[in-house]
Chains A and B, each alone.
Chain A
């Protein structure tokens, strides 16, 4: 068993692009669900809208990439308004149903033949992210420590995405510690109490949904910058649930929650994959009798699922959460 390899697999992934993109998506979800109590089960839809918004703008209209970023984010804002208008006056469950359906509908819609001219259908779009890599100031080579190394290309996407996570987290810190954030936390607990004190609850919920969705859109943009192509399959609803899982792992309604959660989640996913590969190859503890190399993909997620269950039982507040906060909910 090569334990260093397992550890470095985990670390590479825990610091890598997936961790950063998921952390960014989770910052948005944390605002919506963690601080405001909005059950947005369609975060994947916000990522999709951001990603396609950007890709289509470059691909169809040939506009410069920075402008396309803005279009992507604007599209996510529009999506948030569209979902929020009919649902935010209703009970919380309605938002859950509408968001998950809308995300699924969008995924199917961009896949249709009718949309193919715009979205490329199942083939998707590529070649819209070239400028992003032309901006890369990092000299060619591999960077990192030990076995944890990234190419100059990957490092560029990773650094930009983590930088966005940090910037957005600082903005969140401003917001959640302000009276605005106080209203959101109060809404999470009891909307009617907040209404009775003269606050426009629907407007606050809308701001939270749209802002969290815009951050999700940004995460979608970075996801497809890394891939350099966009296709419907990237936005399965499993994406939304992974983001929920890592948010709970890191700690709900905590500024560090998404960051810690993103890192831990991907550390565990890739670490357990590395562990299983090593274990099967080395016939570790007789594991090769029950498991073949092809099984490892799904089994690693079972292991992560199990870890999350254990966590919820023994440490419901997550890595950075506060016990009081969980108890008082």
Chain B
């Protein structure tokens, strides 16, 4: 990428973040530039409405945190948006594509890639194989293409360069040839994040990226998340740790009992009485 492009990109990101700060914080508010727009999302389990979100927009080029007490429906919403669960009702679009009813792999191919709360590093594959698996448009991944080893080996070599760069960035390069099973829990989170980047997503959805991660690693994970935004990606993440949320998010959405009860800048949400009542208050009361 040339220097000119990089500075255009960083000014674009900065402009998007500045514009976002002008938005009034209220549930379902429209953003100047939204990458993901969801309407009337409902998911009922039996008689229980796990998710009931009237309208939600995720701003482009920003880090949005999805917070809320346990059972608020955050992960269910994640599953709905990423195609891993089917809503009872609802429409949503990603980057101008209507994606409701699309299967999960098609949504990922459009550039909306998620990670999981319980890490899904593929233990029986090496760290590098985990990365190579995720690369797009591989000739050798088709039954016919598998018989063209010269072509796919050349592709694999190109992907390996990119994979090693990413592993280096996430400090996993020395582990490249080890089985992913040998990584620590925190390293698996890092691997999952690095692997999702091999898909070249424009929206990265992280489900509790810091859960179970050694505190010493949290800081570098935070830097990585901010790094994703700074290279032009949009981040949506679920998190419980309020310190983490306050440190890195540009926008915060708070859910309780399936609905969005507040959204806004981190400061405004932290000061919101309903949020304190539903979430922060409960935590403060416990400690």
Task: Give me the interface of A with B, judged by CB distance under 8 Å.
Answer: 174-175, 178-183, 185-186, 188-190, 192-201, 207, 211, 324-325, 327-329
Does A199 contact B141, Cβ atoms closer than 8 Å? Answer: yes
Give chain A nearest CB distance to B286 CB in angstroms.
33
> Whole-angstrom distance between the alpha carbons of A158 and B89 in the complex?
60
Chain B, Cβ-Cβ closest to A181 = B146
Does more than half of chain A's interface fall in helix, strand or loop, or is it mixed? helix
Does A185 contact B146, Cβ atoms closer than 8 Å? Answer: no
* In the complex, chain B residues whose CB is within 8 Å of the CB of A195: 84, 103-105, 108
| B275 within 8 A of partner (CB) | no
> Whole-angstrom distance between the alpha carbons of A327 and B124 in the complex?
9
* In the complex, chain A residues whose CB is within 8 Å of the CB of B146: 174-175, 178-181
Task: Give me the interface of B with A, judged by CB distance under 8 Å.
Answer: 82, 84, 103-106, 108-109, 113-116, 120-125, 129, 132-134, 136, 138-143, 145-147, 149, 152, 156, 179, 181, 195-196, 198-199
> Whole-angstrom distance between the alpha carbons of A201 and B104 in the complex?
10
> Whole-angstrom distance between the alpha carbons of A325 and B116 in the complex?
24
7 sampled A-B residue pairs with Cβ under 8 A: A179-B132, A179-B133, A179-B152, A185-B124, A186-B122, A186-B125, A200-B105
Does B108 contact A196, Cβ atoms closer than 8 Å? Answer: yes
Chain A, Cβ-Cβ closest to B108 = A198
Give chain B nearest CB distance to A251 CB in angstroms.
15
Besides A183-B141, A193-B116, A196-B108, 7 more A-B contacts (Cβ < 8 Å) are A174-B146, A179-B156, A186-B133, A192-B104, A197-B195, A199-B133, A328-B179
* In the complex, chain B residues whose CB is within 8 Å of the CB of A181: 146
Chain A, Cβ-Cβ closest to B147 = A174
For the complex of A and B, the 5 pairs showing the least CB-CB separation, nearest first, are: A179-B140, A178-B146, A198-B108, A193-B120, A180-B146
Does A196 contact B179, Cβ atoms closer than 8 Å? Answer: no
Residue from A183, A196, A201 having most chain B Cβ neighbours under 10 A: A196
Residue from A181, A182, A207 having most chain B Cβ neighbours under 10 A: A182
Task: Tell me which of A174, A189, A194, A201 contacts B124 (CB under 8 A).
Answer: A189
Does A196 contact B115, Cβ atoms closer than 8 Å? Answer: yes
Give chain B nearest CB distance to A190 CB in angstroms.
5
> Whole-angstrom distance between the alpha carbons of A183 and B198 in the complex?
15
* Contact of A197 with B134 at beta-carbon distance under 8 Å, contacts A179-B152, A182-B129 already known: yes
* Contact of A198 with B124 at beta-carbon distance under 8 Å, contacts A180-B142, A183-B133, A328-B181 already known: no
> Whole-angstrom distance between the alpha carbons of A189 and B132 in the complex?
16
Residue from B104, B116, B138 having most chain A Cβ neighbours under 10 A: B104
> Whole-angstrom distance between the alpha carbons of A70 and B196 in the complex?
43
* Contact of A196 with B82 at beta-carbon distance under 8 Å, contacts A175-B146, A182-B132, A190-B120 already known: yes
Does B143 contact A182, Cβ atoms closer than 8 Å? Answer: no
Residue from B82, B115, B129, B143 having most chain A Cβ neighbours under 10 A: B143
Does A178 contact B152, Cβ atoms closer than 8 Å? Answer: yes
> Whole-angstrom distance between the alpha carbons of A199 and B116 in the complex?
16
* In the complex, chain A residues whose CB is within 8 Å of the CB of B120: 190, 192-193, 196
* In the complex, chain A residues whose CB is within 8 Å of the CB of B124: 185, 188-189, 325, 328-329
Does B143 contact A207, Cβ atoms closer than 8 Å? Answer: yes
Does B122 contact A180, Cβ atoms closer than 8 Å? Answer: no
Does B141 contact A197, Cβ atoms closer than 8 Å? Answer: no
> Whole-angstrom distance between the alpha carbons of A196 and B199 in the complex?
10
Give chain A nearest CB distance to B249 CB in angstroms.
23
* Contact of A198 with B129 at beta-carbon distance under 8 Å, contacts A193-B122, A328-B123 already known: no
Give chain A nearest CB distance to B51 CB in angstroms.
19
> Whole-angstrom distance between the alpha carbons of A201 and B141 in the complex?
12
* In the complex, chain B residues whose CB is within 8 Å of the CB of A196: 82, 84, 104, 108, 113-116, 120, 196
Give chain B nearest CB distance to A225 CB in angstroms.
27
* In the complex, chain B residues whose CB is within 8 Å of the CB of A174: 146-147, 149
* In the complex, chain A residues whose CB is within 8 Å of the CB of B141: 178-180, 182-183, 199
Residue from A181, A194, A198, A325 having most chain B Cβ neighbours under 10 A: A198
Give chain B nearest CB distance to A77 CB in angstroms.
13
* Contact of A324 with B179 at beta-carbon distance under 8 Å, contacts A178-B152, A197-B196 already known: yes
